[in-house]
Amino acid sequence: MGCESGVRAGFGGGLAAMLVSALPVAAQDAPASVADRIWVGGPVLTMEDSAPVAEAIAVKDGLILAVGSEDEILGLGGEGTTVTDLHGRALLPGFVDSHGHVMMGGLQALAANLLAPPDGAVTDIASLQQELRQWAADNAAAVEEADLIVGFGYDNSQLAELRHPTRADLDAVSADRPIIIVHQSGHIAAVNSLALERAGMTADTPEPSGGVIRREADGTTPNGVLEEMAFFGALPRVFATLGPESLSVFARAGAEMWARYGYTTGQEGRATPGTVQVFRQVAEAGSLPIDVVAYVDVLTDRDFIKDSASRDYADHFRVGGAKLTIDGSPQGFTAWRDRPYYDPVGDYPPGYSGYPALTDPEILESVDWAFANDVQILTHANGERATDMLVAAVNAAEDKYGPGDRRPVLVHGQFMRPDQVESLDRLDIFPSLFPMHTFYWGDWHRDHTVGPVNGDNISPTGWVRARGMAFGTHHDAPVALPDSMRVLDATVTRRSRSGDIIGPDQRVDVTTALKAMTIWPAWQHFEEDRKGSLVPGKRADLVILSGDPTAIDPEMLDTLEVVETIKDGETIYRADP
């Protein structure tokens, strides 16, 4: 990331520029071929600095044939060509998921919706209980078959009680079925008494390394709230009644949801060998409408990761590399900070600063293994101490193995300091940032996690761009819905739920935010030669929006809608008229 022609400035001098010397592309310069589909009548936003806007685009055999003026592109039509009038709507490259979890997103799509407004209706414990009861009644056959009630997306910061639901709250919904509800962060869950039994958790169960089993007033009895590795460890046992077919349903549902929001490439951001096998089966059955790239937990089967990693898709699926998780959730007070939390809500000791999921040697060794085996590694680090450990690990590995095009990725980096941004730049660590947090939890961060001063600098896209660095911007679904327009709006405006602007100096312009959803995450995934911008020869992965995001008031970006999603030249999603 030391020059403008690489990951910076939209790749104007890189491989994309070699594919086409200039846009628009005249008809006489295009291949002597008749287009399958042509779009005209609206702005075509290319994400190419040499010609950022065109009038029309033509597609042939799943690839972009030409981009240029309406007259030039219409000249590529013939018998059998489908010509679509955009009627002023904008056409862009399909969105590339910088970080998300497709399979868990599918679970979110099918489970009880426990999100707060505007994405759901849960505002207190009573409304949460009602949503669970209603979902269980509406899905009685599935509940019977799975012997499980599942909810997703509750957020204690948005509940009137400002606390997590406990096993007693969930026992009031059902004492006959296990219940698990997952916090919106994806790092905490609440379960009822039967689910605790299924997980084998009792008063005698010790605290797991990197996790917390919250206890009742007696100091021993689990109260039903499980943090980090306590949650992740319990999950397989609680979900033991869900067979591989259920996971296949989640994978398909997640991929379909990503497509509805304009994503043509999704990410499975913390896979296991088992979930990889599920995705492969779904892919081989032709049931993945989008590309999905998986990163397997580096603490699982490393030989599997090494043998499976590939830059090539098979039926829309591939393993991209490894995933390392250093800490937890900032809004859940489990991110590992370099200072105490500002005003944490809950029973926390004085000076509490979160905790790591791994030991320092485990972190260093994991990154060392990735570098030694030329495996791309994505690292979840939210708190400052977690990012310090990532920087130290990459620095040590690069000193040991020398420079190379490995593209290590920092995922989240919510509480980064300016010196850490400089370190990412120096070490060529790509930042996949989470400015969507400014909408959902900006007020919470300002008032409780880091305070009003440091709250302005969460997800510091402004600092990153000041150094000329590229970045990805993500939704981390199912932490939030994979709502591309919410991602875009939050990256540009940084308005919180209350309407406050969280860090005006960290805002970026619309074009920059769009690059962070297209060409830059394509580079992150080693796919900039085939995705992320509208250049002849790249995949015809496209999205049509209801309006032009570069031409409207930025405060209206969240009103835009995905009208149609096209993968390899074929429509995979179209909104109802």
Write the pLDDT tens digit of every residue in 55-103: 999 999 999 999 999 999 999 999 999 999 999 999 999 999 999 999 9
pLDDT in tens, 256-287: 999 999 999 999 999 999 999 999 999 999 99
Pick from 148-152, 179-183, 533-537 the range whose average pLDDT is largest.
533-537
- Residue 438 domain flag: no
Please report whether residue 121 resides in a domain. yes
Residue 193 lies in a domain: yes
Crossing angle of helices 244-260 and 273-284, rounded to 10°: 70
Which pLDDT belongs to residue 11? 31
**How many domains in the chain?**
2
Same domain, 217 and 154: yes
230/112 same-domain check: yes
Q: In the chain, helix, strand, coil percent, each to 5? A: 35, 20, 45
d(Cα 494, Cα 250) in Å, to the nearest integer?
31
Q: Are residues 64 and 123 both part of a single domain?
A: no
Q: What is the CATH number of the domain that holds 138?
A: 3.10.310.70
**In terms of Cα–Cα distance, which of 234, 227, 164 is closest to 196?**
234
Please indicate, yes or no, whether residues 84 and 126 belong to a single structural domain of this protein: no
Q: Identify whether the C-beta of residue 61 lies closer than 8 Å to the C-beta of residue 76.
A: no
Alpha helix (H) residue ranges in 382-531: 384-401, 418-427, 437-440, 442-444, 451-455, 461-466, 484-493, 510-515, 519-524
Are residue 79 and residue 183 in the same domain, yes or no? no
Under the banding of pLDDT at 50, 70 and 90, the label for residue 108 is confident
Q: Which domain holds residue 72?
A: 1-94+533-577
Least confident of 4-18, 324-338, 370-384, 524-538: 4-18
Q: What mean pLDDT comes out for the span 533-560?
A: 98
How is residue 446 annotated by DSSP?
A: I
Burial of 524 (0-12, 13-18, 19+ CB in 10 A): buried
* Band of residue 229 on the pLDDT scale cut at 50, 70, 90: confident
The closest of 386, 506, 379, 484 to 438, measured between CA atoms, is 506
CATH for 537 = 2.30.40.10
Q: Are residues 61 and 143 in the same domain?
A: no
Residues 85 and 206 in one domain: no
Q: Tell me if 35 is assigned to some domain.
A: yes
Task: Return the number of other C-beta atoms located less than 10 Å from residue 347's C-beta.
Answer: 9
Each residue's pLDDT tens digit, 279-308: 999 999 999 999 999 999 999 999 999 999
Q: What is the mean pLDDT of residues 431-448?
A: 96
pLDDT on residue 230: 92
Decide if 215 contacts 223 (C-beta within 8 A).
yes
| Sole residue written with tokens 């040697």 | 361
Name the least confident of 114-118, 290-294, 350-354, 515-519: 114-118
Q: What's the whole-number mean pLDDT along residues 373-392? A: 98
- Confidence check: pLDDT of 16 > 70: no
- State yes or no: pLDDT of 577 exceeds 90: no
- For residue 5, pLDDT over 50 is answered with no
Q: Assign 30 a pLDDT band (cuts: 50, 70, 90).
A: very low
Give this prediction's pTM: 0.87
User: Mean pLDDT, to the nearest integer, of 203-228?
Assistant: 93
Out of 211, 238, 265, a domain closes at 238
Q: Which two tokens stand for residue 62?
A: 């799943």
- The answer to whether residue 497 is domain-embedded is no
Domain boundary among 238, 260, 293: 238
Helices marked H in 177-314: 193-199, 229-238, 244-260, 273-284, 302-308
At 298-340, the pLDDT tens digits run 999 999 999 999 999 999 999 999 999 999 999 989 999 999 9
Q: Indicate whether 31 pLDDT > 90.
A: no
What is the share, in percent, of the chain residues with pLDDT greater than 70? 94
In a domain, 213, yes or no: yes
Could you tell me if 227 and 131 lie in one domain?
Answer: yes
The reply to whether 34 and 155 lie within a common domain is no
Rounded to the nearest 5 degrees, what angle is found at the Cα of 499, between the Cα atoms of 494 and 502? 35
On the question of pLDDT at 7 being above 60, the answer is no
Q: Are residues 119 and 194 in the same domain?
A: yes
In 3D space, the residue among 553, 573, 565, 435 whose CA is nearest the CA of residue 93 turns out to be 565
Residues 126 and 220 in one domain: yes
Is the per-residue pLDDT at 24 higher than 50?
A: no
Domain boundary among 195, 221, 238: 238
- What's the longest Cα–Cα distance across the chain? 80
Is 198 found in the same domain as 114? yes
Structure confidence at residue 32 (pLDDT):
57
Q: Is the pLDDT of residue 28 over 50?
A: no
For 176-191, write each residue's pLDDT tens digit: 999 999 988 888 899 9
Computed over every residue of the chain, the mean pLDDT equals: 92
| Sheet of 317-325, strands arranged across | 95-96, 263-271, 291-297, 317-325, 377-381, 409-412, 430-433, 472-473
The answer to the question of residue 225 being in a domain is yes
Residue 55 lies in a domain: yes
pLDDT of res. 104: 87
Parallel, antiparallel, or unpaired for β 112-113 and 149-154? parallel
Residue range 500-511: average pLDDT?
98
Q: What 3-state class would DSSP assign to 186?
A: coil
